[in-house]
Amino acid sequence: MEKLKIDLENLDNVFPDDFSPEQIAKAKTLFLKELSEKAHQFYGGKIQTVPKAPVLGFNWFNVWYTPGVSRVSTNIRDDHNTSYDLSNRGNLVAVVSDSTRVLGDGDCTPSGGLGVMEGKAFLMKYLGGVDAVALCIDSKDETGKNNPDKIIDFVKMAQHSFGAVNLEDISQPNCFKVLDVLREECEIPVWHDDAQGTACVTLAGLLNALKLTNRKIKDTKIVLYGAGASNTTIARLIIADGAKAENLIMFDSKGSLNIDRKDIEDDKRFYRKWELCLTTNKNNVKTMEEAMKGADVLISLSTPGPDTIKKEWIQLMAEKSIVFVCANPVPEIYPYAAKEAGAYIVATGRGDFPNQVNNSIGFPGILKGALMVRAKKITDNMAIAAAHSLADFAERRGIDIENIVPNMEEAEVFPREAADVAMQAIKDGVARVIISEEQAFEIAKKDIEYSRSLVKNLTNEGFISDPPQEMLEDALKWAIDQVK
How remote is the C-alpha of 108 from its chain's centroid? Answer: 19
Distances in Å between the alpha carbon of 327 and those of 11, 61, 132, 400?
20, 49, 25, 23
User: Is the per-residue pLDDT at 305 higher than 60?
Assistant: yes
C-alpha–C-alpha distance, residues 129 and 116, integer Å: 18
Catalytic residue among 120, 177, 273, 445: 120
CB distance 264 to 277 below 8 Å: yes
For 322, residues 6+ apart whose C-beta sits below 8 A from its C-beta are 206, 209, 210, 213, 296, 297, 298, 343, 344, 345, 347
pLDDT value for 329: 80
* 61-82 per-position pLDDT tens digit: 999 999 999 999 999 999 999 9
C-alpha–C-alpha distance, residues 355 and 317, integer Å: 20
Burial letters for 330-368: b for 16+ Cβ neighbours within 10 Å, e otherwise?
bbbbbbebbbebbbbbbbbbbebbbbbbbbbbbbbbbbb
Average pLDDT of the residues of the chain: 95
pLDDT value for 9: 76
For 282, residues 6+ apart whose C-beta sits below 8 A from its C-beta are 246
For 318, residues 6+ apart whose C-beta sits below 8 A from its C-beta are 221, 294, 295, 296
Active site residue 120: yes
CB distance 304 to 327 below 8 Å: yes
Domain 195-435 has CATH 3.40.50.720: yes
CB distance 358 to 351 below 8 Å: yes
User: Is the per-residue pLDDT at 3 higher than 50?
Assistant: no
Closest CA to 97 of 107, 86, 87, 82: 107
SS3 335: helix
Edge-to-edge strand ranges of the sheet holding 343-347:
255-256, 248-252, 222-225, 297-300, 321-325, 343-347
C-alpha–C-alpha distance, residues 278 and 407, integer Å: 36
User: Is the per-residue pLDDT at 377 higher than 60?
Assistant: yes
Domain at 60-188, CATH class: alpha beta
pTM metric for this prediction: 0.93
| Structural domain spans, the chain | 8-45+463-483, 60-188, 195-435
Question: Residue 244 — pLDDT band, cuts 50, 70, 90?
Answer: very high
Edge-to-edge strand ranges of the sheet holding 164-167:
131-136, 92-97, 164-167, 190-192
Examine residue 21 and say whether the peptide bond preceding it is cis (omega within 30 degrees of 0).
Answer: no
Phi–psi pair at 92, nearest 5 degrees: -125, 130
Active site residue 65: yes
User: Is the per-residue pLDDT at 1 higher than 50?
Assistant: no
Catalytic residue among 65, 254, 268, 427: 65
Single-letter amino acid code for the residue at 429: G
pLDDT value for 29: 87
User: Is the per-residue pLDDT at 28 higher than 80?
Assistant: yes
Question: Residue 110 — pLDDT band, cuts 50, 70, 90?
Answer: very high
- Secondary structure of 260-321 in HEC code, one letter for each residue: CCHHHHHCHHHHHHHHHHHHCCCCCCCCHHHHHCCCCEEEECCCCCCCCCCHHHHHCCCCCE
* 387-436 per-position pLDDT tens digit: 999 999 999 999 999 999 999 999 999 999 999 999 999 999 999 999 99
